Amino acid sequence: MSIPWRLPDAVKPGDVVRVIAPSGAFDRERFDAGLAIIERAGFTVRYDDVVFSRHRYLAGNDERRLAELRHALAEDDSRVLWVARGGYGATRLLPHVPVDAVRRAGKWLVGFSDTTALHMLWARAGLASLHGANVTTLAQWSDGARDELMSWLTSPAPRLFRGRVMRRGELVSGRLLGGNLTVLAAMAGTGLLPSLRGAIVLLEDVGERPYRLDRVATQLVHAGVLDGAAGVAIGQLTDCAEPNADYTALDVLTDVLAPLGVPVLAELPIGHEPSSRAILSGALATLDTHEGVLTLRGPDASVSV
């Protein structure tokens, strides 16, 4: 069906940021450093102490993390849901969070990596979200990257990203959707992904050897998830090199994507590194492989999801 996309309202000084932990357990010192940055930006930070819960590798069991997410969506006065850490765990919650609840809440979501699963939920609701630093990675990001992230929340404006052309094609436009490659592959076949037809698909990853990237990208291709995509934007492939190999992770990923026949722009500054820049998931984007640039605009039109 076709639904209108919209951008959450701009955030103002003093607005409440609700910190949630739907994925992995995290380091308290890095968490506190991230909170301080958000507070210095002029926002009011709120979280419950249960955010520090641990259950194996998760920030508490599924019941705790799901209850926190539902409460954060229903809370009247918070404007932003900022994820504490990625890791793993968000996909386990998706079947239990109604798309309508996200749409009604109309709140910003901020995070990356495992938060890709939640960005896909926001996309199914037709709501733009911010693919940017988690609370525990904020202190590791550069000052410029942090400033740009905050400006997306307060005054969204067009952005331009330069990359390396891997496959040329016609100038294409579409909605920018995607995120962490491994998370997207884990969601294939679940019915929990939005349609990527006509989209410019963002892919990034960390700590995966080339053969693993081959495996998960091949899964997306064989499952038809990327059928009809307008183009592919590849971000940072951090710590994904095969030692002493005569090929790169990007070589492998580009080969797997070649049968799609779409333009591919790579080495964009989006992903797991301190130089990473925040992007608006759901933004209307243009991919130009003649100039080697990705341009983002606002989500001001309808699209089938």
Mean of all residue pLDDT scores within the chain: 95
- The model's pLDDT over 29-40, given as tens digits with 9 standing for 90+, comes to 999 999 999 999
- Establish whether 96 is a catalytic residue: no
- Establish whether 276 is a catalytic residue: no
* One domain for residues 35 and 119: yes
In whole angstroms, give the CA distance from residue 210 to residue 194.
26
Show the domain range for 99: 2-154
- The model's pLDDT over 31-78, given as tens digits with 9 standing for 90+, comes to 999 999 999 999 999 999 999 999 999 999 999 999 999 999 999 999
Q: Which two tokens stand for residue 186?
A: 């884990």
**Which among 113, 129, 276, 281 is annotated as catalytic?**
113
Please state the φ and ψ torsions of residue 111, each to the nearest 5 degrees.
160, 175
pLDDT confidence of residue 302: 38
* One domain for residues 98 and 174: no
* One domain for residues 143 and 169: no
Q: What is the rounded end-to-end Cα distance, in angstroms, of the chain?
A: 6
The backbone region for 134, taken as left when phi is positive above 0, alpha when psi lies in -120 to 50, beta otherwise, is: beta
pTM above threshold 0.85: yes
Q: Which two tokens stand for residue 27?
A: 């380091």
Residue 3: pLDDT band with limits 50, 70, 90:
low
**Which among 68, 131, 204, 273 is annotated as catalytic?**
204
- Establish whether 204 is a catalytic residue: yes
Of 100, 135, 154, the residue that ends a domain is 154
